[in-house]
Structure 1
Amino acid sequence: MTLRLSDGRLAGLLYLLLVLTGIFSLIYVPSQVIDLDDPVRMLALIGDNRTLFAAGICVGLTAYVIYLALPVVLYRVLAPYGQSAARLMVLFALASVPMTFLALGEQLALLDLVTGENGPSEAAGAQALVRMETYFRYTGLASIFWGLWLFPLGWLGWRSGLLPHVLGFLLMISCIGFLIEFAGPLFMSGYSGSLLSTIAGTPSSFAEIGTCLWLLIMGEPKAWRREAA
């Protein structure tokens, strides 16, 4: 089997960049400016923090470009251990990207609503609320595929020996967690503050950060390196 020695660590580097850019654009920036309970105030916050909000959009764009490259690199590493599963991994990951770009389009539209000289109006606030609700719908749909691609990744990582079994298992469990996170609010009022929400979201934090660090530090197993040599 011919394997480029850099593939494992390249995947780890891309994964780490994806995690960092995702935290900034999906968690940090919204925590600073998004207030769905008061859309007029939200527009004012975006106007006061326009550079931060614009940076969040640009970093989000970077994250989704990385998300296009990461499964391709992982495919090169993992395809010999299950080509069908590796193809599913790539397809699930890529399927999310159009929805995430649509979500970014909704954020870009918000910038057009914060240009009023006398501050945001009630009408602009109503439009902003619609934009952000649409943004969250797109990211919610994308999160289905953010979860689905983790199952074949975890299974292939486990099977190939690229990852420790515990990380492979956590990645597969994380897939279920993402699906619960999407379906939970549909069937359960007050889901976001529930114990189930906390439990469902926990495995992916450990699994994805652990996976990117493992790949970045360890690369491919030594046996693969000897075979490649």
Structure 2
Amino acid sequence: MVVSGIFALAWAPRQLIVPADPVETLANLTSRLQLFQAMIAAAVVMAAFFLALPFALARFLSPAGPRVTRLMIGLVALSIPATLLAVMHYGGLAAEIAGGTATLESLGDARAGYRRWIGVSTVFWGLWLPPLGWLIL
């Protein structure tokens, strides 16, 4: 989860996305389409591992509080659809790039959709930690 997360959320975007220059960003994404597709795949893998993590922890922590354990699992589970919706925006852009139909407008739409949904995800990425901390203590 950590490796795929660092790749999908930090390293690959820094190689591809130039925040102040959509023209250069689109050129980067077009010329390095395989890296962009790998970033998308890594984000899906990260989401799968993130969903599995609280279930693995629950085996050890549920005796400390079954309700809190279910809350922890629920908060993680709520982040997964938002994460996948964010990734879906980039997947659509990758398909447009592969088909040669990507425009600056489609790049802007994909980036806005990604930021919106990844923002929702990050809320839940943080909300599951207090129940985890309570169970550990």
Q: Which residue of 1 aligns with 2:100?
A: 116
The 2-side partners of 1:110 and 1:116 are apart by 10
Query: Can you list the C-alpha shifts for 1:75-106, whole angstroms capped at 9, x where unaligned?
Result: 11101001111111000001000011111110
Aligned residue among 116, 121, 124 for 1:137: 116
Residue identity in the other structure for 1:116: G
Q: CA deviation at 1:56?
A: 0.8
Q: Which residue of 1 aligns with 2:24?
A: 41
The answer for unaligned runs of 5 or more in structure 2 is: none
What's the TM-score, normalizing by structure 1?
Answer: 0.57
- Secondary structure, aligned partner of 2:19: coil
Q: Which residue of 2 aligns with 1:149?
A: 128
What's the TM-score, normalizing by structure 2?
Answer: 0.93
Q: CA deviation at 1:132?
A: 0.7
The 1-side partners of 2:110 and 2:121 are apart by 17
Percent identity, aligned pairs only? Answer: 37
Q: CA deviation at 1:36?
A: 3.4
Q: Which residue of 1 aligns with 2:6?
A: 23
Residue identity in the other structure for 2:122: S
Contact map agreement 1:85 1:152 (CA 8 A) in 2: yes
Where does 1:50-65 land on structure 2 (aligned, <5 Å)?
A: 50-65=33-48
Contact map agreement 1:39 1:126 (CA 8 A) in 2: no
Contact map agreement 1:82 1:156 (CA 8 A) in 2: yes
Residue identity in the other structure for 2:75: F
Q: Which residue of 1 aligns with 2:82?
A: 99
The 1-side partners of 2:59 and 2:107 are apart by 42
Q: CA deviation at 1:40?
A: 2.2
Q: How big is the alpha-carbon RMSD for the aligned residues of Structure 1 and Structure 2?
A: 1.5
Query: After the TM superposition, which parts of structure 1 deviate over 6 Å for at least 4 consecutive aligned residues?
Result: none
Where does 1:161-176 land on structure 2 (aligned, <5 Å)?
A: none
Q: Which residue of 2 aligns with 1:177?
A: none
Q: Rg: which structure is higher? A: 1
Q: CA deviation at 1:43?
A: 1.2
Contact map agreement 1:99 1:138 (CA 8 A) in 2: yes
Higher-helix-fraction structure: 2
The 2-side partners of 1:110 and 1:35 are apart by 16
Alignment size in residue pairs = 136
Contact map agreement 1:43 1:113 (CA 8 A) in 2: no
Residue identity in the other structure for 1:142: S
Q: CA deviation at 1:37?
A: 2.2
- Secondary structure, aligned partner of 1:96: helix
Query: Can you list the C-alpha shifts for 1:37-87, whole angstroms capped at 9, x where unaligned?
Result: 222221110111111111111111111111111111111110100111111
Q: CA deviation at 1:113?
A: 3.2
Q: CA deviation at 1:112?
A: 2.9
